[in-house]
């Protein structure tokens, strides 16, 4: 019994550490995209900054919950920002990047309306039972059908847009890999696609296996892989290659 308790305590410490790690990476990521937006004023950077801020706040709520115990308010913040509205804003950045400003603006109105509607639903939705303890609550055991449908639509459609956009962009860049920087950006897009899959698998694994350590590991690894893709894509070129690359994106 003593060994079991010690092992459980170790697992809980790992869960808390991974949750804080995911928060730290997401915060650094959000800061990086905010710097790019304030410098270049590109709408995709604004959308990504909003998405990553939501993710950082969601993982911070998760870190608080797994370390000091969950309550209704902490879980609502975690669910709304992490499971419902985060991925649509991340996908909006992909739309701006690949489909252009006109399509991006039309989609942004939809994302704003969806986010506001989802916020009202999640804040007002009744919670079944009592949320307490340090184990991460599962949405299907806490909320009714409507909040879960919003989470499925927001995360599912958003993940498809991000994954599809990353794969298409990587394929297009790989075909033109002779252009300076394209090979690196193709690898970056593949990393973003892989990171999206890892993040999307976390909720599914939690619902099926109910393992907190698996869930927070998917958060930490997924956001880290996407951040790695972002850093690779942002690696500076020098001389004429950098000028050509900046001209292409403007």
Q: Provide mean pLDDT across the span 177-205.
A: 73
CA-based nearest residue to 91, from 161, 164, 43, 29: 161
Sign of the dihedral defined by the CA atoms of residues 43, 46, 51, 54, in that order: negative
Q: Provide mean pLDDT across the span 29-41.
A: 93
Q: Tell me the C-alpha to C-alpha distance, in Å, between residue 105 and each of 20, 38, 137, 162, 250.
A: 34, 19, 35, 17, 17
What is the CATH code for 2-249?
1.20.1070.10
Alpha carbon distance 209, 213 (integer Å) = 11
Asked if residue 181 has pLDDT above 60, the reply is yes
Q: What is the pLDDT of residue 92?
A: 93
Maximum mean pLDDT: which of 70-74, 97-101, 183-187, 229-233: 70-74
Tens of pLDDT, residues 107-129: 999 999 999 999 999 999 999 88
Q: What pTM did the predictor assign?
A: 0.83
């Amino acid at each position: 019994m003593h060994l079991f308790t010690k092992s459980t305590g170790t697992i809980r410490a790992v869960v808390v550490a991974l949750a804080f790690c995911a928060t730290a990476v997401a915060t650094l990521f959000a800061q990086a995209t905010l710097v790019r937006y304030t410098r270049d004023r590109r709408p995709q950077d604004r959308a990504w900054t909003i998405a990553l801020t939501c993710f950082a706040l969601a993982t911070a709520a998760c870190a608080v919950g797994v370390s000091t115990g969950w309550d209704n308010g902490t879980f609502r913040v975690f669910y709304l920002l992490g499971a419902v509205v985060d991925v649509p804003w991340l996908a909006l950045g992909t739309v701006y990047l690949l489909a252009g400003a006109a399509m991006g603006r039309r989609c942004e109105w939809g994302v704003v309306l969806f986010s506001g509607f989802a916020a009202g639903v999640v804040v007002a939705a009744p919670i079944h039972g009592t949320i307490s303890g340090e184990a991460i609550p599962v949405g299907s055991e806490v909320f009714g059908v409507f909040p879960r449908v919003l989470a499925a639509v927001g995360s599912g459609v958003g993940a498809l847009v991000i994954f599809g956009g990353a794969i298409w962009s990587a394929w297009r860049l790989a075909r033109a890999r002779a252009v300076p920087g394209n090979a690196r950006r193709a690898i970056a897009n593949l990393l973003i696609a892989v990171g999206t899959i890892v993040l999307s698998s976390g909720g599914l694994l939690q619902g099926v296996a109910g393992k907190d350590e698996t869930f927070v590991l998917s958060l930490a690894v997924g956001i880290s892989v996407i951040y790695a893709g972002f850093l690779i894509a942002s690696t500076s070129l020098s001389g004429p290659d950098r000028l050509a690359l900046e001209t292409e994106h403007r």
